[in-house]
Structure 1
């Protein structure tokens, strides 16, 4: 059975000091591995919250989320352990060089070949010659390429990316986007992206529009 995420009648809101903000209500969909999905919509629609719920980082206030890995239903903790994450901010460890940042998640999993795997991914993203550079010595595009590689380095089943090109210029955005989609298709990993970029969304196999608390397939 294919790895998948099932959202069943999911609703979410948050409370401020003065009011309740309803983000969405009664959303249902199935997100499968081996596919790429873009989630688009206006600011404040709840796209990032939906991504967090799908990734098992946040619980919805209503409905159910089911995660299936290797044909078995797993909990949110196992889902997170089987996922990689890419954010608008790069979140690299400033005290580690590029190869150290890539090796870290592998070392945390006890992999003795962490640096060998990290080196192969550095080469894959075209940054072999930046292995000993720390984040402050890298451009924004180079840092995000490291962040992309770090998300894939442990062999995840799903990658969740929240505005991954939001801090990049148009040319660099195109390079990083191409890298993400190429890596997802080469590894058979599911890729779910929240984006404001229609250009980026068009690269995905499918696009969901989240607007006014509802979700629909976008053309």
Structure 2
């Protein structure tokens, strides 16, 4: 049975001083496992908030988020435990080398073969020879490749990526984008990306435009 995340009649806002800013109201959409989805739209439209709500990281002001994993209903905690995350800032631990950054989430889950699995993923993203380099010894593109591998290393059901190529030059962004989509399709997990990049969004199976509080299929 396909894993799904379903957002129903979602409303969300934030308060700026005495003013309440409505991001969206009555918004609904579904993400399915094995599906790649891009969310585009202007700055301030609420794309990152929508991604956080879908990932179970943030509670909406209204509406419900329903998740199914392995054919059974799952709560936000279970969804987070089976998800991987990629951000614009790489968020690698500076005191750990590349393989240590990859092995850490596996070790936290009790995997005895954490470093072996991490090594295989480093090779998959083309950084086998950089395993013992710390983040400050890696280029931005290499750091994001480590971050991509870290997101996939625990065999998640869904990957959530927030502007994953925003800090990269055009050529590096293209290679990282290709890597993300290839890994998603190889592993069969769902991939949800928030991006300003049209070339990146065009890689997705579905592209949604979030603007003026509405979510519509992009042309």
**Normalised TM-score (structure 2):** 0.99
Structure 2, unmatched stretches of 5+, are none
Q: Does 1:154 align with 2:142?
A: no
Corresponding residue number in structure 2 for 1:181: 181
Corresponding residue number in structure 1 for 2:49: 49
Once residues 45 and 17 of structure 1 are traced to their aligned partners in structure 2, the CA distance between those partners, rounded to angstroms, is: 19
Structure 1, unmatched stretches of 5+, are none
Once residues 101 and 197 of structure 2 are traced to their aligned partners in structure 1, the CA distance between those partners, rounded to angstroms, is: 28
Corresponding residue number in structure 1 for 2:84: 84
Once residues 132 and 29 of structure 2 are traced to their aligned partners in structure 1, the CA distance between those partners, rounded to angstroms, is: 43
Corresponding residue number in structure 2 for 1:61: 61
Superposition pairs for residues 81-160 of structure 1, below 5 Å? 81-160=81-160
How many Å apart are 1:18 and its aligned residue? 2.2
Once residues 217 and 51 of structure 2 are traced to their aligned partners in structure 1, the CA distance between those partners, rounded to angstroms, is: 16
SS at match of 1:151: helix
Q: CA RMSD in A?
A: 0.4
Once residues 198 and 177 of structure 1 are traced to their aligned partners in structure 2, the CA distance between those partners, rounded to angstroms, is: 12
Task: Provide, for residues 181-214 of structure 1, a one-character-per-residue CA deviation record: whole Å limited to 9, x for no partner.
Answer: 0000000000000000000000000000000000
Once residues 119 and 58 of structure 2 are traced to their aligned partners in structure 1, the CA distance between those partners, rounded to angstroms, is: 33
Once residues 150 and 99 of structure 1 are traced to their aligned partners in structure 2, the CA distance between those partners, rounded to angstroms, is: 9
SS at match of 1:95: coil
Number of equivalenced pairs: 219
SS at match of 2:122: helix
